[in-house]
Chains A and B, each alone.
Chain A
Amino acid sequence: MTPLASIAGAVLSVTPWRLERRLEVDAKRAALTRIGGAVGAMIVVGILLLLTGRNAFWIFWQALDAIFGRQRGIEGVALRAIPILMTALGVALSLRMKVWNIGSDGQFLMGALAAVGVGIHMDGPGWLVLILMAAAATVAGAAWILVPALARAYWDVNEIITTLLLNFVALQLVTWSALGFWRDKAAAVIQSTREVPFTLPDLPGADSVTVALLVPLVIAAVLWWVFRSTTIGYEIDTIGGNPRAAGFAGIAVRRRILVVMLFTGAIAGLGGMLQLSAPGAQAMNAGFSAQFGLSGFIVAALAGASFWGVIGGGLFIASMFYAGIVLQTKGLSVYIIFAIYGVILTGIALGEIAARYRVVRRDAADETEASAADAAAAPQGAGS
C-alpha cells in the first residue's frame, strides 16, 4: 500500500468501513477520480479562503472569467500550454518505457538555442528558415539527451541523475549566449540574445496563438496510434513491463531504449523552437523556460503516461497558471496563489491513488482477495 492509503486505512479503522484495493484500474474511473480530486481541492481552497476572510466566490469567478470570458484568456492559456504540452509528451513517452527523463527543461532550452542560432544567422524565405529552425531544435534536443541515453542503454547508468544535471548545463549555455556570443547589443535592460526575425503564422481567427498549438496535438495523436496499433508501441510497452522478457522475445532492448530516449529529447527540443517562434518571444534570456520541464513532468506523471491525458492535464495546468497571473493583478498575493497550485495538484494526485481503492463495509465478505494479499505482503511478525 502507498503511505497515503495506509493513513487513510488507519483513519477508517475506527469506522465500519475499510479500504480495499481494486484488482483492475479502469481508465475512465481513473480520469474521473482525478477530476474529482481537483474539484475537491478547489472546494478545500474555497473554504480556506473564506475562513481567512477572502471572498472565495469572487476569486473563482475572476479566475473563470479571465480564462473563458474573452478570447485573450483562451489564447493566453493556449500560449502557456504549448511548451508544457511538448515537455510533457516527451516525458510521457519515456514513462511508457519506465525511463525517467527529468531533463526535458534542458532539452527544451537547447532546442530553442539551436533555433536562435539558425534564425539569427540565416537569410531566406521565412517558411524555409522556420523549418530549418525546427529541424535544428529537434536535433539539438535529441543531442542533449544522447549521452544519458547511451549511458542508460548500454551501461545501465541511472538516467534520472544524468538528465537532471544536464538541465543546469543547458541553462548556463543559454545565459552565456545571452551575455556573450549572441548578445543583443541594443537591448539595455535584460540581457538577451538577438531577436529572430521570423514567427510562425497565427491560427485562423487568433490574435496571438500560432499554428504551434497544432504540433502537440498532432504528436499526441501519432503517439496514441503508435501505442495502439504498431509493433513498435507494443515493444516499448513490453520493455517498460519486463525488460528481460522483452529481450527473450527478441526485442533489441538497448537499441530501443536509446532511440526512444532520443525521441523524448527531440520532442522537448522542438517545444523550445515553438516557444521561440511565437510573436514577442523571439529572443532568449536566462528566464526563457519558466520551469516548463518541471510543469511538463508533473503533467506526465499525473496523466499516468496517457497521451490524451497529457493534453487534458497540460491545458488544465496552463489554465491554472494563467488564472494565477490574472489573480495577481487583482491583488491576490503570489504566496496564496502558489499555495492554491499546491493544493490542487495534491488533490489530483490523491484522485490518482483513489482510483486504485474503494471503500467497503467491514462485514462485506466478497472480494477481499486483494486486501488480504496486501496483508500477506507485510513482513510477518513485524511489530509484534
Chain B
Amino acid sequence: MKNIDNKNIGIEEKLSTFNSQLSTDKELRELDAMCVNESRLEHKWYHNLKYLLIGILFGIVFVKSEVISWFRIQEMFHLQSFHMYGIIGSAVITGMVSIFLIKKFNLKTIYGEPIKITPKTFNKGQIYGGLIFGFGWAMTGACPGPLFAQIGTGATVVAVTLLSAIAGTWVYGLIRERLPH
C-alpha cells in the first residue's frame, strides 16, 4: 500500500512539473512542433488571407513539380531519380541563405516585429517518430502538405488518408506521456 502511495505521489510530482513546464500557452503550442506563430500581435482574421495566398502558390508548385506524386516518392526511395533530392536540396539551400541573411541584417516583419525562430531541442521522438513517419510517407506517397494538395487535384479518396492522419495525431496526443521522449 505504501508503495502504491509513493508511486502515486511520483506521478503527481511528474504531472505538476509537466504542467509548470508548460506554464504558458506558447510553450504548449511549441511542444513537438516546428511551425509556431512567434508573433505577439493580434490581427483581424482577414490578415490570414496572406497565408491562404502563399498556400495557393505553394500548392501550385507542389502539383507542377510533381512533389505530390506517389510515383516520384517511390523513385526517390529507390534512388531512381534525382528530382526529389534536387527539390528538397535546393529548397534547403534557399532557406538557409534566407535565414542567414535575415539574421545577419536583423530583418523585421512587415509589422516591424523582430523575426524570431525558436531553436529545437533533441528528444528520442525525432528518431522513433521520424522512422514511423518515414514508413507512412513511402506508403501514402505523401507527407502532410501533399495530402491537402492531392485532395485538391480531385483524388477525393485521399481525404480518408488525411482523416486517418488527423486520427494518428490525436492518438499521439492521447498517449504522449507514455511514449519515450
Query: Is B one of A's binding partners?
Result: no
Binding site for B on A (CB under 8 A): none
